[in-house]
Amino acid sequence: MEIPEQQIKLKNGKTVVIKSVKAVDAELMLQHLQISHRESYKNMNQSAEFWLNFPIEDEKRILGEFEGARNKFMLSVWFEGKIVGGLGLVGHGAEFVKHNASLGMSIQNAFCNSGLGTELMKMAIKLAKEIGWHRIDLKVRTYNTGGIKLYEKSGFERIGLLKDAAFIDGKYVDEYSYQLILK
Ligand SMILES: CC(C)(COP(=O)(O)OP(=O)(O)OC[C@H]1O[C@@H](n2cnc3c(N)ncnc32)[C@H](O)[C@@H]1OP(=O)(O)O)[C@@H](O)C(=O)NCCC(=O)NCCS
C-alpha cells in the first residue's frame, strides 16, 4: 500500500520523513532491523544476528508484498537517507477475522522518547480506520515501560497476561496483550 509521505518535526528538533516502504528499500530496512534489534532485542522477537544473516532477496520480496497489498502496510521513518524506525500493521486473512490487524514497531534508541512513537501510532490508527479494520491487537513485554506508556496513551486497553510468552537470554518472560477497537 502506498502512503503519502509526511514530514514530522520531533521533540529533539530533528525532522524525519514517514512513508511506506518499497522493495528497493530492502538493504536500508535490513540495516535498521540490525541496529534496532541490537539495541532492543529484549523487546523484539529476533536477535540482531537473525537480521544480519537475512537474505536481501527475501527482504525485497517481503517489502514488495507490502507495496502491493491492500490488507497490510509498513511505515518507515527516514532521517538523513537512513531508516531509523518502522511500524507494520498486518490484517488477518481469514473470512471471519479479517476485520483484525496486528501491530509491531521498532525505533532506534537515538529517536526514542522524542514523540516519534506517538506520531507513528496516530498515523497508523488513521490509516487503519481508512482501510476499514475494526480492531488492532499487539503484544508487549511486561518490562517494556516505554512501549506500555505509548500504547496506553494511544488508547489501547490491556486484555491479558501471556505467561512465559518469550524465551530470552535463558529466561522465560511475560507479555501483555493489548487491543484497540476502532470506532
Ligand atoms: C516503545 C517505543 C515504540 C516507544 O516509542 P517512542 O518514540 O519512544 O514514544 P514517544 O516518544 O512518543 O513516547 C510516548 C510516551 O512514552 C513515554 N516513554 C517513552 N519511553 C519511555 C520509557 N522508557 N519509560 C517510560 N516512559 C517512556 C514518553 O515520555 C511519552 O510520554 P508522554 O506522552 O507523557 O510524554 C520505542 O521506544 C521503541 O521502539 N523501543 C524499542 C523497540 C520496542 O520496544 N518496540 C516495541 C515492541 S512491543
- Domain layout of the chain by residue ranges: 6-133
Give the helix/strand (H/E) hosting 114.
Answer: none
Query: Whole-model pTM?
Result: 0.95
Give the helix/strand (H/E) hosting 173.
Answer: strand 171-181
| Stretch 54-74: mean pLDDT | 95
pLDDT (tens digit per residue) in 81-127 = 999 999 999 999 999 999 999 999 999 999 999 999 999 999 999 99
The pLDDT, as a whole number, for residue 1 is 77
**Residues with beta carbon inside 6 Å of ligand 1?**
40, 43, 105-107, 112-118, 140, 144-147, 149-150, 153
| Stretch 71-86: mean pLDDT | 97
- Sign for the pseudo-dihedral over CA of 41, 42, 44, 50: positive
CATH number of the 6-133 domain: 3.40.630.30
Distance (angstroms) between ligand 1 centre and the Cα of 150 equals 5
Decide if pLDDT at 44 tops 80. Answer: yes
Contact, 53 vs 46, CB < 8 A? Answer: no
Q: Residue 152 gets which letter from DSSP? A: H
The pLDDT, as a whole number, for residue 45 is 97
Q: In whole angstroms, give the CA distance from residue 8 to residue 66.
A: 23
Which residues are 100's β-sheet partners?
135
